[in-house]
Structure 1
Amino acid sequence: MASRQFTFPVLLITSLFFLWGFAHNLNPILIPHLKKACQLSDFQSAFVDSAFFIAYFTMALPAGYCMKRFGYKAGIVTGLLLFAIGALLFYPAASTREYLFFLIALFVIASGLTFLETAANPYISVLGPPETATQRLNFAQSFNGLAATLAPFLGGMFILSGKTLSPEAEAALTEQQLQAYLQTEADAVKIPYLLIGFIVLLVALKVIWTRLPQINETVGAKTEQIGASSLFANGNFIFGVVALFFYVGAQVGVVSFFIRFSGAVAGITEKAAATLLSGALLGFMIGRFAGSFLMRYFAPAKLLALFATLNVLFTLVSVSVSGLLAIYTLMGVTFLMSIMFPTIFSLAIHGLGSKTKQGSSILIMAIVGGAVLPLLMGLISDWFSIQAAYLLPAACFAIVLVFALRNIRQRQISEVEVTVQRETV
């Protein structure tokens, strides 16, 4: 998968995928938790995702500039330090129980993750043979899936109390009792996020002390597509940005509303729903490993097309039925989402050569879809139902399918051109 000189750097960079996956997948726990602790409406609680993913949009270009100027290692260290600072800010945020403070802390965390993802996704793609770049990226993303499995399970265990006051029970409390209950709920995030902050700081120190290979991407400039004078003239790259925007929006929406969806369609409590979500994201992790294995035998674009098709169908089933069947099909959706981000990313930056860092920054900006689409799902849920809101992810997966089909067609045309060239020589 990678030559010996790249083995330890690949392992170290892969650990970053685990760290940001853990931070990402605590958000579905924070949404119902902060809704209680800060007495929020459903729409207000959705800003947890917005604060998180707006950072990707605003910080992606600075992250790309940092790497272009100072290299991948500087981008990674900067990202880890911002990540740690944001996690440590949860302590004063919980003490004040100010929702805006929580959103600022989340924005700082996500700013750090923007640097990490802008650096790590393309960096691990070039740490080894080009022909196995997509496979290598999917392997690293598998540990993102492992973190996604553990985060809701541990978050449900240590953050969610399982106590939700009915309007009648809340009205029966004195103001002092109510404030004490709300502060206890808010304080539950202090220890988990302090631990995260300190662990991330230790990883930052390890990266500082480790000599990472410098990659000269100008060598890959020969692979740039002919006639692509800029990234914006590269149709496949632009479509990749669009596909990533809608995919991330779908992924965030599917996972973030899972606990509320489970309660609405099957009457499942928040702790039980958090356990189900952990199981669903275990499927996400298994899907990453399975996808990495299957790509040895099937073209990434073809596998992406198959998974996208099934996701459209599974999401529509979740919208159409009720009870456990709706939840199980939604769990199936998380399994099928597994390969989508790394595969879209890898297909989009393929052939960019010296423009890879710039292209990576723009692709990371597309993650802002995670800030936009969940808000739209929240509005649809308020107007109609939480099940109706899941029609939006179904439409997003259809867009991913079209991107995959385009890449299959491009690969087929390329293979025909190579064959013709060989026959004419």
Structure 2
Amino acid sequence: MNQTTHKSYALPIAMMFLLFFIISFVTGLQNPMGVIVKDQFSLNNYQSQLGNMANFLAYFFMGIPSGKLLRRIGYKKTALFALVMGFTGVLVMYLGGKTASFWIYLGGAFISGFTMCTLNTVVNPMLTVLGSKERANQRLNFGGACNSFGATIVPILGGVLMGNAAQKTISDADPLLFVAMGIFALVFVVLLFVQIPEPHIESKERLKIKDKYSALSFRHFRLGVIAIFIYVGTEVGIGSIANLYLTNSVEHGGLGIDPSLAGSIVGIYYLLMLVGRLLGGLLGGVVTSRQMLASVSGLGLLFVLIGIYAPDYMVKMPVVTSNLHFELADVHIGVAFLMLCGICISVMWPCTFNLATEGLGKYIAEGSGFFMTMVVGGGVLPMVQGAIADSFGYLDSYWLIVACMAYLLYYALIGSHNVNDNIPVE
């Protein structure tokens, strides 16, 4: 009986792994797209991050509604709805390239953000439901690895597609958009014809029940919501602004590096996030979330400060050229330390989530919706950092990241303690 169940869920589980991949793939598209639109539409650094902002702004509007949608219509219908929206969003981005319209592209990025938010709400609990409970954690870890892989390859592929083109356009990224639309279509067709368990659909009567307290009644949760906002903005900002810093001309404050090499360098940042998540999974049984968050935020703070103040010294880093050849390239040591932050960033989400929801009991589901809403930080903070870069320079913009790391360190050491344990949570 167990073998039958395993076989019957093998295909939808594989589709969930593809969704983990495509969530980071489509979200990460805004990284090379920032370089492209900056060049194509003659934008400044602040404006080049509007695509990120449009993508993540959707989380602010859809974070809580997506959780309610899941509880009302279930995993399958919510996932199918999100997949249609995802295909539509990427298609609109493609049309933005064909019409050379920055505003159509932004509309596609916003629609894509709705999709990523809804899919994020679906894939984690669905992987828990599909298959045996004993292997649920294993499936989630593999899904996280697929997510990191998508984030790693998209800046590399984006850089290769841009190559040495004198005038970069959105259409240069068409192959990446076709891959995204193809995966959305494939997963939609598969999920349409498979049966999915629906244990968490709630009746309308139950949804109407009011409670005296909420997740926001807990101080450590409120501070944790701010921490998630800051964490996501930090993760996106480090990579996005680094890509602009690497590719912008020397006379405009950048390093003037070929886009394909820059994409590979930023890809290392996301690759280190994959490595960090694997290490975090191994150490999770012996190191608490508080200890881990304090360690990585403190180390990340140190890495960023070194990145800002590092001397003019070059180190060798592995990169992929526009001809898809591997080689060692000279990279400024400060940039190398900024990329090392990937290993620190990697475990911040699970650590912060665990600390913020500790002791919440029945309010955890509600708290998850607030967390998804605060993913909007991935759009807000990189745009603020871009504005700082316009006014003071790329490296000085990383003082915003220093402040973010300092807050995460504070949250780990002080802000994450539950001081509202008198609130009933059963």
Question: Displacement of 1:30 after TM fit?
Answer: 0.3
- For residues 158-307 of structure 1, the aligned pairs below 5 Å read 158=161, 160-164=162-166, 185-216=169-200, 229-263=213-247, 264=253, 266-307=255-296
The answer to whether the 8 Å contact 1:122/1:357 transfers is: no
**CA deviation after TM superposition for structure 1 residue 133, in Å:** 8.1
Write the distance in 2 (CA, Å) between the matches of 1:125 and 1:352.
Answer: 20
1:294-333 map, 5 Å: 294-323=283-312, 324-333=332-341
Match of 2:322 in 1: none
Q: CA deviation at 1:40?
A: 2.1
The CA deviation at 1:276 is: 0.8
Q: How far off is 1:240 after superposition?
A: 1.7
Alignment match of 1:379 (pick from 370, 383, 387): 387
Which stretch shifts more, 29-38 or 188-197?
Answer: 188-197
Matched, 1:392 2:400: yes
Counterpart in the other structure of 2:25:
22
Identity %, equivalent residues: 29
Listed one character per residue, the Cα deviations across residues 312-360 of structure 1 (whole Å, up to 9, x for unaligned) are: 1111111112541101101110121111123323433345444443222
Compute the displacement of 1:43 (Å): 2.2
Written as runs of structure 1 = structure 2, the 5 A alignment for 1:350-389 is 350-389=358-397
* Secondary structure in 1 matching 2:285: coil
- Within 2, Cα distance between the matches of 1:240 and 1:118? 18
Deviation at 1:101, TM superposition (A): 0.3
Per-residue deviation at 1:267?
4.2
Q: CA deviation at 1:206?
A: 1.9
When residues 137 and 252 of structure 1 are mapped into structure 2, their CA distance, relative to the original with a 3 A threshold, is same
Which residue of 1 is the match for residue 61 of structure 2? 58
Q: Name the structure with the higher helix share.
A: 1
**Deviation string for 1:72-115 (max 9, x for gaps)?**
33222222221111112233211110100000011111111110
Preserved CA contact (<8 Å) 1:236 1:348:
yes
Structure 1 residues 307 and 154 mapped into 2: Cα distance closer, same or farther (>3 Å)? Answer: same
Task: Report the Cα distance in structure 1 between the residues aligned to 2:339 and 2:353, rounded to whole angstroms.
Answer: 23
CA 61–285 in structure 1, closer or farther in 2 if over 3 Å, else same: same
Aligned pairs, number: 385
Given that residues 253 and 370 in structure 1 are in contact (C-alpha distance below 8 angstroms), is that contact kept between their aligned partners in structure 2? yes
CA contact (8 A) 1:312 1:398 kept: yes
Between stretches 19-28 and 207-216, larger displacement belongs to 207-216
Shift of 1:26: 1.6
Partner of 1:87: 90
Q: CA deviation at 1:14?
A: 3.5
Contact 2:220 2:418 in 1 (8 A): no
Q: 1:139 to 1:192 in 2, by over 3 A?
A: closer
- Residue 137 and residue 199 in structure 1: after superposition, are their counterparts in 2 closer, same or farther (change >3 A)? closer
Choose from 141, 144, 147 the match for 1:141. 144
One-letter amino acid of the counterpart of residue 161, structure 1 = G
Aligned partner of 2:146: which letter?
F
**In structure 2, what residue type is equivalent to 1:256?**
S
* Rounded Cα–Cα distance in structure 2 between residues aligned with 1:400 and 1:129: 35
* Mapped partners of 2:290, 2:135: distance in 1: 14
Q: Which moved more, 1:133-142 or 1:51-60?
A: 133-142
Matched residue type, 2:403: A
Q: Give the Å deviation of 1:381.
A: 1.1
Change (3 A) 1:316 1:126: farther
Structure 2 residues without counterparts, runs of 5 or longer? 203-210, 248-252, 313-331, 422-426
1:122 Cα shift?
Answer: 4.7
Q: Contact 1:64–1:118 at 8 Å: present in 2 too?
A: yes
Distance 1:136 1:186, change over 3 A: closer
Q: Is the 8 A contact 2:32 2:155 kept in 1?
A: yes
Which one-letter code corresponds to 1:229 in the other structure? Y
Deviation at residue 52 of structure 1 after TM alignment: 0.9
TM-superposed CA distance for 1:407, in Å, is 7.6
Letter in 1 for 2:291: K
Q: Which residue number in structure 2 is paired with residue 418 of structure 1?
A: none
Name the SS for the 2:158 alignment partner: helix
In the alignment, which of 112, 118, 130 is matched to residue 109 of structure 1?
Answer: 112
Alignment counterpart, residue 70 of structure 1, candidates 70, 73, 93: 73
Question: After alignment, is 328-337 or 75-84 more displaced?
Answer: 75-84
Which stretch of structure 1 is more off in the superposition, 261-270 or 194-203? Answer: 261-270
User: For residues 129 and 91 of structure 1, do their structure 2 counterparts lie closer, same or farther at Cα, with a shift above 3 Å needed?
Assistant: closer
- Name the stretch that deviates more: 344-353 or 315-324: 344-353
CA contact (8 A) 1:83 1:109 kept: yes
What SS does the aligned partner of 2:105 have? helix
Name the amino acid aligned to 2:214: S
Larger deviation, residues 112-121 vs 340-349? 340-349
Further displaced range: 118-127 or 145-154: 118-127
- TM-score, scaled to structure 2: 0.81
CA distance in 1, matches of 2:412, 2:13: 27
Rounded to whole Å, the distance in 1 between the matches of 2:201 and 2:55 is 30
Q: Distance in 1 between matches of 2:128 and 2:291?
A: 20
Label 1:186 to 1:262 Cα distance change in 2 as closer, same or farther (>3 A): closer
Partner of 2:213: helix, strand, or coil?
Answer: coil
Contact 2:85 2:114 in 1 (8 A): yes
Report the 3-state secondary structure (helix = DSSP H, G, I; strand = E; otherwise coil) of the residue aligned with 1:305: helix
Structure 2 CA distance for aligned equivalents of residues 343 and 209 of structure 1:
36
Q: Determine if contact 1:139/1:292 at 8 Å carries over to the other structure.
A: no
TM-score (normalised: structure 1): 0.81
Match of 1:222 in 2: none
The one-letter amino acid of 1:359's match is G
| RMSD (Å) for aligned C-alpha atoms | 3.1
